[in-house]
Amino acid sequence: MSLLQVKNLVVEFPHRRGTLRAIDGISFDIAPGEILGVVGESGAGKSLTGAAIIGLLEPPGRIASGEVLLEGQKINGLPAHQMRHIRGRRIGAIFQDPLTSLNPLYTIGRQLTETILAHLPVDAAEARRRAIALLEDTGIPAAAERIDHYPHQFSGGMRQRVVIALALAAEPQLIVADEPTTALDVSIQAQIIQLLKRLCRERGAAVMLITHDMGVIAETCDRVAVMYAGRIAEIGPVREVIHAPAHPYTRGLMAAIPDIGADRERLHQIDGAMPRLNAIPTGCAYHPRCPQAQDRCHRERPVLMAANATRAACWLNDDGTASAANATTSAKVSA
């Protein structure tokens, strides 16, 4: 059974000239102990999807339709006090900049123990013991002494380890990690990646890893969802998506990755840019940039359909059975 299920999620922003649809009917699931990577260009909707799942959409953004289910329980639309209990206790969050997650006026120990005491039935002494153990688990040296230090006394990599410890403090079932390695140098990135993989394996937590770095995806994830213009372009096992991509956009992303073994002077690039929210093309949102676009791509929006070992929203993979499903899905999304 899936731990997290996202069904036909639509996120909109009311605007004086109309309503902007930022997430347009996406669906995916994550199993216990699985790491799902979410990748795409800036503006694809990756972080917005994570914010919608953990209930941290910035107003006036709102979930217009669809469901977010945690162990079968619908969590979108819950009152704020109920969502606060779920966030931290059942869902942990790791953000790109650790300084936005840590209060500079409080010691690391105070922030960890307050989180533990808020969500778990333990006393202050046990909370401190658990906080020290978490710091040790996440690779903080001399944790028993450093627990009483302030955030500014840690390096960037060490602060990110503290944020991971904070996300794990209440033993959540799901962790949403939004660009957790972007601000770190390469050697520290590798350590954080290994740490996430080990903690996921040992604790059985599911992880939604949001990033634009395909190298991080390849090293960390079991499956990957490629997003474009608020939609999922392709989803499947990470090895298949990387080595045998079925969507032209995914192929473009893969071709743009530098290859030290290739003898070429210029890197591949995808012509054009991500469309603005008020100018999403009809049909397939990628067709203005796609070298394989057909007339159908201009008119009809493709649904995710079987494409070898992955599923891709591209008419090039249509075996003739997708049209009816596409009509049904389009009607649901429009409604």
Q: Confirm if 261 and 275 have CB atoms less than 8 A apart.
A: no
Give, in order, the Cα–Cα distances in Å from 304 to each of 106, 125, 234, 316: 47, 51, 7, 11
Q: Quote the percentage of the chain above a pLDDT of 70.
A: 94
Name the pLDDT band for 268 (thresholds 50, 70, 90).
confident
When pLDDT is averaged across residues 23-45 and rounded to a whole number, the result is 94
pLDDT per position as a tens digit, 301-320: 999 999 989 999 999 998 77
DSSP state of 3: S
Q: Which of 103, 105, 101 is nearest to 92 (CA)?
A: 101
DSSP run (H or E) holding 210: strand 206-210
Task: Rounding to the nearest 10 degrees, give the CA dihedral for residues 187, 188, 191, 192.
Answer: -140
pLDDT at 331 over 70: no
- Residue 200 or 76, more confident: 76
Select from 3.40.50.300, 3.40.50.720, 3.10.28.10, 3.50.50.60 the CATH code of 4-258+306-312. 3.40.50.300
- Prediction pTM value: 0.90
Place 64 in a pLDDT band, splitting at 50, 70 and 90. Answer: very high
Residue 175, pLDDT > 80, answer yes
Does residue 27 carry a pLDDT above 90? Answer: yes
Percent of the chain with pLDDT over 90: 67
Asked whether the predicted pLDDT for residue 328 surpasses 70, the reply is no
Residue 243: both structure tokens together: 């080595």
Tell me what pLDDT residue 334 has. 47
Residue 335 pLDDT exceeds 80:
no
Looking at the chain, list the stretches that DSSP marks H as alpha helix, in order from N- to C-terminal side. Answer: 46-54, 80-89, 108-119, 124-137, 143-146, 156-168, 186-203, 214-220, 238-243, 248-255, 295-299, 322-334
CA count, 13 A, side-chain hemisphere, 140: 30
Q: For residue 326, what pLDDT is reported?
A: 54
Of 210, 223, 164, 224, the closest CA to residue 188 belongs to 164
Say whether pLDDT at 260 is over 80: no
Considering the chain, what is the average pLDDT of its residues? 90
